[in-house]
Amino acid sequence: EAEVAQSPRYKITEKSQAVAFWCDPISGHATLYWYRQILGQGPELLVQFQDESVVDDSQLPKDRFSAERLKGVDSTLKIQPAELGDSAMYLCASSQGGMHTDTQYFGPGTRLTVL
């Protein structure tokens, strides 16, 4: 069964350092999402891509976060500099993109701890 891949699974960094997360969506999925999830809360959308174009990044803290999907396949989310409040689970999801109501399938996530 096709899955969304993410790496690393865990990342510990010190504040003010740069971190990067990678996501490879299910093959053929045009839409890719990055979410942040704090323990005990639902996921919060950071950025949504349709192919290589950003559809929604209204909740992305653009002073420190950036995301790209240059060839419309895999994607990278970067934080520079990391702050203590960035500690969370970062989830990547993908959907076929043919219909707006397509189901989103999630990768295993990256657990970020900022010290």
Partner 1 sequence: GQNIDQPTEMTATEGAIVQINCTYQTSGFNGLFWYQQHAGEAPTFLSYNVLDGLEEKGRFSSFLSRSKGYSYLLLKELQMKDSASYLCAVMDSNYQLIWGAGTKLIIKP
Using CB under 8 A as the criterion, which residues of the chain lie in contact with partner 1 when the complex forms? 40-45, 56, 91, 100-101, 103-109, 111
Q: Which is nearer to partner 1, 60 or 91 (by Cβ)? A: 91
Output the smallest distance, CB 12 to partner 1, in A: 15
Are 91 and 105 in contact by the 8 Å Cβ rule? The answer is no
Output the smallest distance, CB 9 to partner 1, in A: 10
* Calpha distance 39→25 (Å, rounded): 24
Cβ atoms < 10 Å from Cβ of 92? 26
Q: Which is nearer to partner 1, 79 or 93 (by Cβ)? A: 93
* Calpha distance 98→88 (Å, rounded): 30
Output the smallest distance, CB 82 to partner 1, in A: 21
Q: Which is nearer to partner 1, 22 or 106 (by Cβ)? A: 106
Residues with Cβ < 8 Å from 58, sequence gap 6 or more?
none
Q: Which of 77, 75, 63, 60 is nearest to 19 (CA)?
A: 77
Q: Which is nearer to partner 1, 13 or 59 (by Cβ)? A: 59
Output the smallest distance, CB 29 to partner 1, in A: 14
